Chain A
């Protein structure tokens, strides 16, 4: 069986082992509500329930099989007391909650911060993951020393436009821009603002620590109806039509490089170096990256990126002459 099939099976089984105790705790819950609760299609839920008719304890007679009834549109699960309490949290479930909670606790002025702290403490005690108060999982985000996070959050909450002064590493310039904020996003321990940049007429991502000032405007911000924050589950998102830079990277740098950057494709060469493809929007961005890698990188292409490396190096070299 392939890994993928196995994963799908594991996900379904996990869901069913959660579905049973939920249905037992809520006898008579409607099929529709149950499918909403679990975020699955009605047909998929019915398929899961149908499967249970065949399951139960050795003997597998009428008194041994799980009793499932949902003909009336209301779900009753009986004869499955051993499944009435859910499986303890899996490691990844516990980690996801701790990590999400820690990220949340790092936000300024969260109303829920106190309740969250209590919840995580109870969780840690129940799971035995605390040792005299020191949690075995410790997630921390860099605090924002300015008030920008607060201002951006206010603008997001009230759907207002922002005016920011921003230093762009890819252009080496500082500028004032008006932004319709869509979301705040934390990755690699930093906060990013994502939104529509009226100056360039494009969707852009801004590092919050490189914002010099942020001010909320009276103008309303537009957020696309189909905006999906989940599209940002990698720190950098490739936009359609972006050009590709290619270069080769040493075995020493290759290992961590592919963890950090949005590498589109990589291939190991005969001498152990990796040939890498990377989507970019501004050649200056790749140039800074290449410069910072020093002699761990070679064979930079295309020409506009190689030219940008030379240009940036020449510009910086003037400081050290």
Chain B
């Protein structure tokens, strides 16, 4: 019997059983597990369990009696496995289908998601017009799945986190409130145990895996992830720079920084006040425009730029 058949049998049996099945029940009754070799069975079953969990199949271990004398049993609760009935209108399914074709990197998962949601639909819109645009939302980042489950289930997690500029990661315990995507990156907003405050963590800076812990929590009423985002993604930039654009580039701040305080500079140039996340970010922004953009203020930003230039010319 092939492995995939054994796994289908395992899912079928644990989904249909009324009483949780002990490991011994599984070995004796489910086709594909019969063996007299305890160690072989144990290894096989452990690997299968891990794979089912990784696929999102809700396999649960239950203790059959309160005194803990009997061996615990396994079950896949129907209520956790089955997709709840959602009453979609045809135009809503069609819109989801378009959204699914737009995401790059996870098209396959988006496609199976829509398929699940439109099981009974008879319409044939699968060959709809090709979209003229696509979006890469980096949803294939492997930690997103476990973090999403944790937020959905309200389960606190632990992970090692290495903030920018820090050499060694440190362990954190977080009650996750929301996953946020800004400027191509994912952030986790949640209550950080260590500081007892709501903090933002960049998912890409989580090293190793994410572990679920015991307990649960509630997301505070009126919580807004937006309020907790920090620079460079949030509104809380604390650096306001004054930047001079060459006359030929006047259109850029006019188009992209509408509403920013601006004034006429010498010889047709244009001086604009713009927020920046950090001196590094401001310098990076300015050098991309070559000599057509000059940082005027604050003085430390000019010094920062001069140091970068001196370093490069000194090389």
Among B5, B89, B286, contact of A55 (Cβ-Cβ < 8 Å): B5
By the criterion CB–CB under 8 Å, are B139 and A99 in contact?
yes
Contacts of A120 in B (CB 8 A): 96
Alpha-carbon distance A290/B309, docked complex (angstroms): 10
The reply on A37 being an interface residue by CB < 8 A is yes
Contacts of A138 in B (CB 8 A): 178-181, 225-226
By the criterion CB–CB under 8 Å, are A232 and B136 in contact?
yes
The reply on B75 being an interface residue by CB < 8 A is no
By the criterion CB–CB under 8 Å, are B315 and A300 in contact?
yes
Contacts of A140 in B (CB 8 A): 181-182
Given contacts A97-B96, A131-B219, contact A90 B139 (CB under 8 A): no
Alpha-carbon distance A161/B137, docked complex (angstroms): 28
By the criterion CB–CB under 8 Å, are A136 and B311 in contact?
no
Which of A14, A145, A157, A233 neighbours the largest number of chain B CB atoms within 10 Å of its CB? A233
Please name the residue on chain A nearest to B119 by beta carbon. A25
Contacts of A2 in B (CB 8 A): none
By the criterion CB–CB under 8 Å, are A58 and B29 in contact?
yes
Contacts of A16 in B (CB 8 A): 4, 8
The reply on A46 being an interface residue by CB < 8 A is no
Alpha-carbon distance A183/B131, docked complex (angstroms): 8
By the criterion CB–CB under 8 Å, are B15 and A82 in contact?
yes
Q: Which positions 93-131 of chain B face chain A at CB distance < 8 Å?
A: 93-96, 98-117, 119-120, 126, 131
The reply on A265 being an interface residue by CB < 8 A is no
By the criterion CB–CB under 8 Å, are B290 and A55 in contact?
no
Please name the residue on chain A nearest to B219 by beta carbon. A131
Count of chain A residues near B, Cβ 8 A: 126
Please name the residue on chain B nearest to A106 by beta carbon. B135
By the criterion CB–CB under 8 Å, are A309 and B315 in contact?
yes
Contacts of B9 in A (CB 8 A): 55-56
Please name the residue on chain A nearest to B313 by beta carbon. A313
Q: Which positions 150-196 of chain A face chain B at CB distance < 8 Å?
A: 153, 156-157, 167, 169, 172, 174, 183-190
Chain B proximity mask over A283-308: 1 for CB below 8 Å, otherwise 0 = 00000101110110010100000100
Contacts of A222 in B (CB 8 A): none
How far does the Cβ of B313 sit from chain A's closest Cβ, in whole Å? Answer: 5
By the criterion CB–CB under 8 Å, are A320 and B148 in contact?
no
By the criterion CB–CB under 8 Å, are A60 and B31 in contact?
yes
The reply on A72 being an interface residue by CB < 8 A is no
Which of B80, B119, B180 neighbours the largest number of chain A CB atoms within 10 Å of its CB? B119
How far does the Cβ of B29 sit from chain A's closest Cβ, in whole Å? Answer: 4
By the criterion CB–CB under 8 Å, are B152 and A128 in contact?
yes
Alpha-carbon distance A316/B135, docked complex (angstroms): 35
Please name the residue on chain A nearest to B83 by beta carbon. A88
By the criterion CB–CB under 8 Å, are A232 and B134 in contact?
yes
Q: Which positions 13-36 of chain B face chain A at CB distance < 8 Å?
A: 13, 15-16, 29-31
Among B3, B137, B219, B306, contact of A139 (Cβ-Cβ < 8 Å): B137
Please name the residue on chain A nearest to B127 by beta carbon. A36
How far does the Cβ of A261 sit from chain B's closest Cβ, in whole Å? Answer: 12
| Chain-B contact segment, one of A198-206, A252-260, A274-282 | A252-260
By the criterion CB–CB under 8 Å, are B106 and A92 in contact?
yes
Identify the 8 closest CB pairs spanning chains A and B, nearest first: A188-B184, A93-B113, A189-B183, A103-B135, A292-B284, A90-B56, A156-B132, A119-B92
Known: A138-B181, A169-B290. 16 other contacts (CB 8 A): A16-B8, A55-B5, A86-B116, A89-B117, A90-B109, A93-B110, A119-B93, A122-B86, A129-B152, A134-B178, A141-B135, A169-B289, A187-B184, A209-B252, A234-B136, A294-B307
What are 10 residue pairs bridging A and B, where the CB atoms are less than 8 Å apart in the complex?
A: A51-B5, A82-B16, A89-B83, A91-B152, A97-B114, A100-B137, A107-B133, A119-B92, A232-B134, A252-B164
